[in-house]
A = this chain, B = another copy of it.
Amino acid sequence: MTAAKSASHMPYVGIASFLKAPVCADLDYLDADVGVIGIPFDEGTMNRPGTRFGPRALREQSSLYEQYLPGEGYYDIELRQTILRGVNIVDCGDVPIQPLALEANHNRMTQSIKTMLSRGALPISVGGDHSITYPVVQAFSDIGEIGIIQIDTHADVFTFYESDLTHGSPMINVARNCPNVTKFVQIGMRGLMLGEKDYSDSIARGNVIITSDEVRSIGVDWVLDQIPEMPYYLTFDIDSMDPSIAPGAGTPEPGGLLYHQARDLLRGVAKKGPIVGFDLVEVNPLYDPTGTTALLATRLVVDFLGAIFHER
């Protein structure tokens, strides 16, 4: 346990770890229900760089949600329920990143998550850009068949560049190279960047694609009805949220989700099957002058963790 916990509870006091949780210096000795690890990698970005600062931004903003005692949880006044009581969360620091060392970086990402899994912790990855999801999902290759639920603006199935490992490609890479991932559910799709053929091909393969308009006009309950029950990995791209509340995204797009929609989606997803891990990516503090994006991301992580452990 670092100095942070033995000091004060004011958000601005102490070294900033995620939720001011204890910091784990060596993953081989991790002892926690939940491990949160930063992946400050943004070399896959096709537009605005800066998501490398995402993990630190979430640490800073999450100071607001410090728990007074480890595992005391939070009383959610809107749920009228206490969440995360007895759940032990640990900040696992960051995956080491070296510029222009793609393969080594990817290997470290995969290996870090594998170690967290081997220690029995639920692994939460904080990006960084969306390209990290591919090496992260590779860490789950030994846990049997899973689906992926992707809350995102973009389908991230581009493959036509000189590099196919950018933040526009993680989903097609997973689809091609992770045989234990057998289902894709994409929620919040919008914008002008998905190719028409990419769309029809995906539908033909049995995937579920739900647009942002459909979430708003038909409703979250209907969306949840489209999702079959099975174990899931969830990947949350913060650009799925409306730019009004999440300006600090790598590739913002008008017309996104509102907080209560995203929260209700996450709560519903937690009921669909065990969640084996999740990531939250694309928070870009260089475009987030008031910190609202990182605060929102933190809150969504807490909400989803609350729902996951409520279902356990």
Q: Enumerate chain A interface residues (CB-CB to B < 8 A).
A: 1-4, 6-8, 10-17, 23-26, 40, 42-50, 52-53, 56, 59-60, 64-65, 74-78, 80, 82, 91-102, 104, 155, 161-163, 165-166, 189-196, 199, 209, 211-214, 216, 242-245, 247-248, 251-255, 259-260, 263, 286-292, 295-296, 299-300, 302
Contacts and interface: CB of A to CB of B under 8 A. Distances in A.
Pick the 7 closest A-B CB pairs, nearest first. Answer: A3-B93, A8-B96, A49-B49, A100-B163, A101-B162, A74-B192, A247-B290
A13 to B, nearest CB: 5
A70 to B, nearest CB: 14
Contact of A245 (B52, B82, B163, B244): B244
Contact of A163 (B75, B76, B95, B98): B98
A259 B254 contact: yes
A252 B212 CA distance: 25
Nearest to A24: B3
Contacts of A4: 93
A28 to B, nearest CB: 11
A97 B13 contact: yes
